[in-house]
Amino acid sequence: IKYDGLVANITSPVIVEYLPVFSPWVKKGAWGIFSGVNTTNSLMVKDAFIQNNWEIIQEINEGDWCGFYLIKK
């Protein structure tokens, strides 16, 4: 089964470590919402999204935290 979307509110290191595991679970064109990313680690997380075939549609920042709306390529 491949899913239409994925939501994760977990810390940056966990996103980076497990994104290669989560990514195959979703269909091409699926949406993703990821939050719990500290702005200090946002570049590392963005690189992981790109390496795992996610397109960043929107980044939302609030204080020291950010979240992302993505589409799976």
pLDDT per residue over 18-47, tens digit each? 999 999 999 999 999 999 999 999 999 999
Angstrom distance (rounded) from CA 13 to CA 26: 21
Q: What's the chain's average pLDDT?
A: 97
Question: Where does 3-72 sit in CATH, by number?
Answer: 3.40.50.150
At residue 44, the pLDDT reads 98
Average pLDDT for residues 50-55, to the nearest whole number?
98
Half-sphere exposure of 47 (CA within 13 A, CB side): 8
At residue 51, the pLDDT reads 98
Helix-helix angle 42-51:12-22, to 10 degrees: 10
Which pLDDT band, with edges at 50, 70 and 90, does 61 fall under? very high
